[in-house]
């Protein structure tokens, strides 16, 4: 298989679960070694947390973000160690964009682990718990959803924040405005419009204070030109300038995740296979819905690693 046909993708929040990567960790030392590296950066035993901790603790944003980044980097390192084909593009969904940049050599791993923990803290404190909400909307056109959010915004902030696949969009904002939007969306014929179990309205304009803090944190961190291009959520394009990459990471916190655009960019570049590095297969499902011809694999167990390696042989 030609390297130009392969992209590796990295999941965002929601893919974490207690016991994730357990079998890979027992089979391949590089998994636990990567978690040990991250544990040293954060001064707590991250592997013990994901294997023996409580799901509630794992779901705290400031915990979830470094845990998922570490899981993705560990799987990427395993892929490389096992002789996996070098991809021509990388991309990640929200938090996963940081994982992609680490794997592309643009961000130092320990720096990134500390940075995303801080990002989680900033995002959580930008809007007090209980004041923000998110909801998934199925079965309406993007433009309809954007228009209905504009109507409901007389009640408060509500915006379309994740364009995940055709017919699947996530909205977020202040609780009353999200509730109002849900009613209007159902009246407009949405198949489903259901609240999501998250603690803050991610990727809305309400996250601007978090963006300001992230910009300050990024000022002290070195970003290099990626050695594999990364497709960015904000505009669905690749960037090589480290200063632009920093600006995009800040903007991403309060801007919509344009995942459909990211996948369309990969397809236009000739990508035929995507491999999801990390727990679960959320992105594999989205990618398949965006384009049925895509060959989508994921790696979170020894069996799925073998299958992914075979899929590009």
CATH of the domain at 138: 3.30.70.250
Q: Which residues are catalytic?
A: 94, 203
Are residues 80 and 153 located together in one domain of the fold?
Answer: no
Last residue of a domain, one of 149, 172, 198: 198
Q: Is the pLDDT of residue 70 over 90?
A: yes
> In this predicted model, what pLDDT tens digit does every residue of 288-301 receive, in sequence order?
999 999 999 999 99
| 128 band by pLDDT with thresholds 50, 70 and 90 | confident
pLDDT of residue 75: 98
> In this predicted model, what pLDDT tens digit does every residue of 229-260 receive, in sequence order?
999 999 999 999 999 999 999 999 999 999 99
Q: Is the pLDDT of residue 135 over 90?
A: yes
Are residues 114 and 172 located together in one domain of the fold?
Answer: no
Q: Which of 1-10, 112-121, 151-160, 269-278 has the lowest mean pLDDT?
A: 1-10
Q: What is the mean pLDDT of residues 173-187?
A: 97
> In this predicted model, what pLDDT tens digit does every residue of 3-54 receive, in sequence order?
789 999 999 998 999 999 999 999 999 999 999 999 999 999 999 999 999 9
Which is it for the CA torsion 288, 293, 294, 299, positive or negative?
positive
Are residues 220 and 178 located together in one domain of the fold?
Answer: no
Smallest Cα–Cα separation from 176: which of 154, 156, 150? 156
Structural domain for 158, as ranges: 132-198
Are residues 77 and 216 located together in one domain of the fold?
Answer: yes
Contact 209, 233 (CB under 8 A): no
Are residues 34 and 150 located together in one domain of the fold?
Answer: no
Contact 169, 60 (CB under 8 A): no
| 156 band by pLDDT with thresholds 50, 70 and 90 | very high
Are residues 154 and 108 located together in one domain of the fold?
Answer: no
The rounded mean pLDDT for the chain is 96
Are residues 56 and 96 located together in one domain of the fold?
Answer: yes
* E strands in 166-249: 168-174, 192-195, 230-231
Are residues 140 and 67 located together in one domain of the fold?
Answer: no
Confidence (pTM) = 0.96
pLDDT of residue 300: 97
pLDDT of residue 292: 97
Residue at token pair 């923990």: 117
Are residues 109 and 145 located together in one domain of the fold?
Answer: no
Q: Is the pLDDT of residue 130 over 90?
A: no
pLDDT of residue 232: 98
pLDDT of residue 146: 97
Are residues 122 and 138 located together in one domain of the fold?
Answer: no
Are residues 142 and 115 located together in one domain of the fold?
Answer: no
Last residue of a domain, one of 153, 180, 198: 198
Alpha-helix residue ranges (DSSP H) falling in 82-129: 96-103, 109-126
pLDDT of residue 197: 79
Are residues 15 and 121 located together in one domain of the fold?
Answer: yes
pLDDT of residue 181: 98
Q: Is the pLDDT of residue 2 over 90?
A: no
Smallest Cα–Cα separation from 98: which of 245, 284, 271? 245
Smallest Cα–Cα separation from 156: which of 186, 189, 131? 131
| 59 band by pLDDT with thresholds 50, 70 and 90 | confident
Q: Count structural domains, the chain.
A: 2
SS3 138: strand
Query: Of residues 313 and 1, which shows the higher confidence score?
Result: 313
Q: Is the pLDDT of residue 1 over 80?
A: no
Last residue of a domain, one of 170, 198, 226: 198
């Amino acid at each position: 298989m030609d390297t130009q046909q392969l992209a590796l993708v990295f999941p965002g929040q929601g893919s974490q679960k207690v016991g994730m990567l357990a079998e890979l960790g027992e089979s391949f030392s590089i998994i636990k070694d990567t978690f040990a590296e991250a544990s040293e950066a954060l001064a707590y035993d991250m592997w013990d947390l994901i294997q023996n901790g409580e799901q509630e603790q794992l779901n705290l944003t400031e915990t979830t973000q470094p845990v998922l980044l570490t899981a993705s980097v560990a799987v990427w390192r395993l892929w490389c160690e096992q002789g996996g084909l070098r991809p021509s593009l990388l991309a990640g969904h929200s938090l996963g964009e940081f994982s992609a940049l680490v794997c592309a050599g643009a961000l130092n791993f320990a720096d990134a682990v500390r940075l995303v923990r801080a990002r989680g803290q900033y995002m959580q404190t930008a809007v007090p718990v209980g004041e923000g909400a998110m909801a998934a909307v199925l079965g309406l056109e993007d433009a309809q959803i954007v228009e209905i959010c504009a109507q409901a915004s007389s009640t408060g902030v509500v915006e379309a924040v994740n364009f995940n696949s055709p017919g699947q969009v996530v909205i977020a904002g202040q609780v009353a405005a999200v509730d109002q939007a849900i009613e209007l969306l159902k009246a407009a014929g949405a198949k489903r419009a259901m609240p999501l179990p998250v603690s803050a309205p991610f990727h809305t304009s309400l996250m601007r204070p978090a963006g300001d803090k992230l910009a300050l944190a990024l000022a002290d961190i070195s970003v290099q030109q990626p050695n594999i291009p990364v497709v960015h959520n904000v505009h669905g394009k690749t960037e090589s300038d480290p200063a632009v990459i920093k600006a995009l990471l800040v903007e991403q916190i309060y801007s919509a995740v344009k995942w459909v655009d990211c996948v369309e960019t990969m397809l236009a570049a000739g990508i035929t296979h995507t491999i999801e590095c990390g727990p679960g297969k959320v992105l594999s499902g989205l990618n398949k819905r965006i384009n049925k011809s895509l060959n989508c694999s994921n790696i979170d167990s020894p069996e799925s690693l073998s299958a992914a390696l075979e899929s590009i042989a």
